[in-house]
Amino acid sequence: MEKKRIIVAVDGPAGSGKSSVSREAAVALNLKYIDSGAIYRAITWFLIKEYGTVPQGKGFSGDLAGLRISQVFKKDGFCNTYVGDTDVSLEIRNETIAKNIGKVSDDPGVREYVNGLLRSWARDNSIIMDGRDIGTVVFPDADLKVYLDASVDVRAERRYNEYLESGKNVDLNSIKKQIIQRDIEDTSRPFGALKTAEDAVVIDTSLLSKEDVIRTLVDLIAPL
Ligand code: CDP
């Protein structure tokens, strides 16, 4: 019998640990991990390259015509993100992108473009996809929806450590302010806002180790 395609949606705010636990659960279960936030980040990177900054109050649909964005999945679960032939995986993880991304992900035309791309990538694969609106908008019929949360302080500290580990010099207080600002943007956008799907399993990860969360996720997915 052919194996059924499984779609797992993992949503939650910035720094809730979605991407690392989704990636590792995907490796453990031989599923593909798709990072939807990286697409919004890649579009933001592209617009900054084109305009020097992300213009306020402009629709970006026109800029997306002919844009080629792809993710290459690797055995270790990581997926590299490309704009055309340029690997932007590292460059999209910086504060300038984080500060400007709200203007991009507020644009309904951009969201429609990204959602089409994400659905096409999932067509032939069993996947774990993380983001903000995966269980509510992109895959409302997902086999499993998980909402990961954590306190602002815990999320700020996680993000701070990530930046430090990648050799970036950052200030914890400014990271915390950014997280609060991102939460406001993420929960208030008219389309694709961050919210908990009614049928999501909600996990508060504030007091859990990464391994605990991965194990919980694997235990939820394995019987599907
Ligand atoms: O890693 P982190 O949680 O900080 O963010 P991300 O998953 O890389 O997403 C970055 C930003 O992309 C979010 O703050 C949203 O503005 C946007 N995004 C979105 O609008 N919808 C998604 N499904 C994923 C990301």
- For the chain, the domain total comes to 2
What pLDDT does residue 157 have?
A: 96
Compute, in angstroms, the gap from residue 100 CA to the centroid of ligand 1.
11
Mean pLDDT value across residues 116-141: 96
Residue finishing a domain among 120, 152, 167: 120
Which ligand 1 atom is nearest residue 15's CA?
3
Contact predicate 149/205, CB 8 Å: yes
Note the pLDDT tens digit of each residue in 142-169.
999 999 999 999 999 999 999 899 888 8
Judge whether 106 lies within some domain. yes
Residue 73 has pLDDT above 90, yes or no: no
Distance (angstroms) between ligand 1 centre and the Cα of 3 equals: 31
Nearest CA to ligand 1 atom 6: 37
- The per-residue pLDDT for 77 is 84
Q: Whose CA is nearest to atom 18 of ligand 1?
A: 37
Question: What does the pLDDT read at residue 28?
Answer: 96
Whole-prediction pTM: 0.95
So what's the pLDDT on residue 74? 84
Average pLDDT over residues 50-62: 94
Work out which ligand 1 atom sits closest to the CA atom of 14: 3
27 and 65 co-located in one domain: no
Residue 50 sits in the same domain as residue 20: no
Question: Quick one: what percent of the chain has pLDDT higher than 90?
Answer: 88
Instruction: Output the residue whose Cα is nearest ligand 1's atom 20.
Output: 105
Looking at the fold, whether 67 and 20 belong to one and the same domain comes out as no
Shared domain for 25 and 62, answered yes or no, is no
Q: Is the pLDDT of residue 63 over 70?
A: yes
Q: 185 and 160 in one domain? A: yes
Res 95: pLDDT? 85
Separation of CA 2 and ligand 1 centre (Å): 34
What's the pLDDT tens digit per position in 107-125? 999 999 999 999 999 999 9
Tell which of 78, 96, 120 closes a domain.
Answer: 120
Within its chain, how far is the Cα of 125 from the centroid?
18
- Could you tell me if residue 158 is inside a domain? yes
On whether both 102 and 130 belong to a single domain, the answer is no
Rounded Cα gap, residues 43 and 22, in angstroms: 22
User: What separation in Å is there between the alpha carbon of 46 and the centre of ligand 1?
Assistant: 16
Look at residue 210 and tell me if it is in a domain.
no
Quote the CA–CA distance of 173 and 10 in Å, as a whole number: 27
Asked whether residue 1 carries a pLDDT value surpassing 70, the answer given is no
Question: Among the atoms of ligand 1, which is closest to the Cα of residue 118?
Answer: 23
| Protein residues with CB under 6 Å of any ligand 1 atom | 14, 19, 36-37, 40-41, 101-102, 105, 131-134, 182, 186, 192
Same structural domain, 189 and 132: yes
Question: Would 211 be classed as within a structural domain?
Answer: no
- pLDDT interval class at 36 (50, 70, 90): very high
pLDDT at 2: 63
Is 224 a domain residue? no
Asked if residue 104 and residue 130 are part of one domain, the reply reads no
Domain residues for the domain of 189 are 1-31+126-205
**161 and 20 Cβ atoms separated by less than 8 Å:** no
Residues 94 and 60 in one domain: yes
State the CATH number of the domain containing residue 167: 3.40.50.300
| Of the candidates 37, 15, 5, 40, the residue with the CA atom closest to the CA atom of residue 149 | 15
